[in-house]
């Protein structure tokens, strides 16, 4: 869906097509929200469950529990006390799950005639997981998570940088301060009773949303969902977590790592997901660093030849987001030089409008992504996942077109205003990751950091 029409500063002529996903929604007596979307193009059905719990719902000293349950939920429940994958895969299905700061999700995509199997298994682990949660399962999966942390963070080049950024951007009292995977000492200190209490608090119908999408009849799907989930007791609504501060406290850190090239990370606190400014900064990130024609890539890689690669992201989260620029230095170039080059480009965005073609290119990528999500009913990012995202975070599965419209309204004036409000140097975090023994490559005035 390309954007067309004559461009004028601060205003774009955009198409008016809506991307609607037809659905029906019911709320059961136990609080479970159920959304059904019919799509008879293929004889498959997606079952997608979101629990409104992530690492933000943990407390210091007891981190990593939400991610740990992502693993434990596949280890069996009271009426199927063995591995979760085999029966669904034997029926021809695929399945997975994930955890982030704000939610945990599980999904299955199965042939239409296996819908009852998927619903039964999801309902059993929602209502009857704890009778099957043994000390042995807990210890085994805790060790799996600790090994995952070693592989994905501690022993991966630049792996600790993301932990260092969130630890610095968000104050120690805020739940975005710690990582989703949790602190090793917290996981080792946890007991099976601790995690059982966490499950009772968050994994129940009143804190969950179920989407059934695909080759189903809506009335039959609601009837089946009610049969499997309707008898599970509702839990108490979780506490509301406070948002982070508007701006981060300025900080400059350096980490020595087993890497060959120095890498620079710049971060700023930005508006929460769906809040004013979130879409504008998302578009800005694409304009700055998506593709070889982007502004930062041209400036740093082609023109000045101080970087081998560069990326920018608006990391949108429920309570508050952060904007990040990541650039890897050319051998022999200091991160002080690289930082100055990046900040010059950020200052240009604050001081003047982006070019028309930059906005058009960024919006085209956004619209392509939106359309791409509709190509599959299941899996990560598919139609069922998108319906659940809007339902959990906004209480409105019908938000798809309005979400796209946020981006279509991201004019150059709005982008510049958002950049000026949030991407200021006094409110940024600067992190240098350098090869061991080469702290001279770090950005100026950087202090050594040890990441938990």
In tens, the pLDDT along 56-65 reads: 999 999 999 9
323 plus 356 within the same structural domain: yes
Buried b (16+ CB within 10 A) or exposed e, 269-303: bbbbbbeebbbbbbbbbbbbbbeeebbbbebbbee
332 plus 428 within the same structural domain: yes
221 plus 272 within the same structural domain: no
- Residue 439 to residue 406: CA distance in whole angstroms: 42
pTM tops 0.75: yes
User: pLDDT, tens digit, for every residue of 329-382?
Assistant: 999 999 999 999 999 999 999 988 788 888 899 999 999 988 888 889 999 999
The reply to whether 242 falls in a domain is no
306 plus 385 within the same structural domain: yes
**CATH assignment of the domain containing 381:** 3.30.830.10
- Residue 349 to residue 289: CA distance in whole angstroms: 13
The reply to whether 3 falls in a domain is no
The reply to whether 423 falls in a domain is yes
216 plus 317 within the same structural domain: no
The reply to whether 388 falls in a domain is yes
- Residue 101 to residue 55: CA distance in whole angstroms: 5
313 plus 168 within the same structural domain: no
The reply to whether 245 falls in a domain is no
> Degrees (nearest 5) of the Cα angle 169, 172, 177?
55
> How many domains, in total, are found in the chain?
2
> Degrees (nearest 5) of the Cα angle 375, 379, 380?
95
- Pick out the chain residues at pLDDT < 70: 1-18, 452
224 plus 257 within the same structural domain: no
413 plus 366 within the same structural domain: yes
157 plus 286 within the same structural domain: no
The reply to whether 383 falls in a domain is yes
The reply to whether 436 falls in a domain is yes
pLDDT of residue 18: 65
411 plus 308 within the same structural domain: yes
Range of the domain at 85: 24-229
The reply to whether 75 falls in a domain is yes
């Amino acid at each position: 869906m390309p954007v067309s029409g004559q461009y004028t500063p601060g205003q774009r002529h955009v198409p008016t097509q809506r991307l609607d996903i037809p659905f029906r929604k019911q709320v059961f007596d136990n609080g479970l929200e159920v959304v059904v979307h019919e799509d008879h193009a293929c004889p498959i059905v997606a079952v997608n469950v979101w629990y409104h719990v992530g690492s933000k719902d943990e407390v210091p000293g007891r981190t990593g529990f939400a991610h740990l349950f992502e693993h434990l939920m596949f280890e069996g429940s009271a009426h199927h006390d063995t591995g979760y994958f085999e029966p669904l895969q034997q029926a021809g299905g695929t399945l997975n799950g994930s955890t982030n700061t704000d939610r945990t999700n599980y999904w299955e995509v199965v042939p239409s005639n296996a819908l009852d199997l998927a619903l039964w298994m999801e309902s059993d682990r929602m209502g009857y997981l704890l009778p099957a949660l043994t000390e042995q399962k807990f210890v085994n999966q805790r060790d799996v998570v600790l090994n995952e942390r070693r592989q994905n963070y501690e022993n991966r080049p630049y792996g600790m940088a993301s932990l260092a950024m969130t630890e610095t951007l968000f104050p120690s009292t805020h739940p975005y301060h710690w990582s989703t995977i949790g602190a090793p000492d917290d996981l080792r200190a946890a007991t099976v009773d601790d995690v059982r209490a966490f499950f009772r608090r968050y994994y129940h119908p009143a804190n969950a949303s179920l989407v059934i999408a695909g080759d189903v009849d809506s009335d039959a799907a609601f009837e089946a969902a009610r049969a499997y989930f309707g008898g599970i007791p509702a839990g108490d609504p979780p506490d509301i977590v406070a948002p982070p501060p508007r701006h981060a406290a300025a900080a400059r850190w350096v980490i020595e790592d087993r890497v060959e090239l120095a890498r620079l990370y710049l971060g700023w606190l930005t508006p929460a997901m769906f809040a004013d400014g979130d879409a504008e900064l998302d578009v800005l990130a694409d304009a700055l660093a998506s593709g070889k024609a982007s502004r930062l890539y041209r400036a740093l890689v082609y023109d000045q030849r101080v970087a081998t690669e560069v990326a920018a992201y608006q990391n949108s989260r429920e309570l508050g987001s952060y904007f990040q620029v990541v650039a890897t230095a050319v051998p022999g170039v200091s991160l002080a030089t690289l930082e100055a080059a990046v900040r010059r480009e950020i200052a240009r965005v604050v001081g003047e409008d982006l070019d028309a073609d930059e906005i058009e290119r960024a919006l085209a990528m956004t619209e392509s992504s939106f359309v791409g999500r509709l190509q599959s009913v299941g899996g990560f990012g598919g139609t069922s996942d998108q319906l659940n995202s809007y339902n959990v975070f906004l209480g409105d599965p019908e938000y798809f077109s309005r979400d796209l419209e946020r981006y279509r309204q991201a004019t150059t004036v709005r982008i510049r205003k958002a950049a000026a409000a949030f991407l200021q140097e006094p409110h940024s975090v600067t992190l240098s990751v350098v090869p061991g023994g080469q702290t001279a490559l770090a950005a100026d005035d950087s202090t050594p950091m040890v990441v938990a």
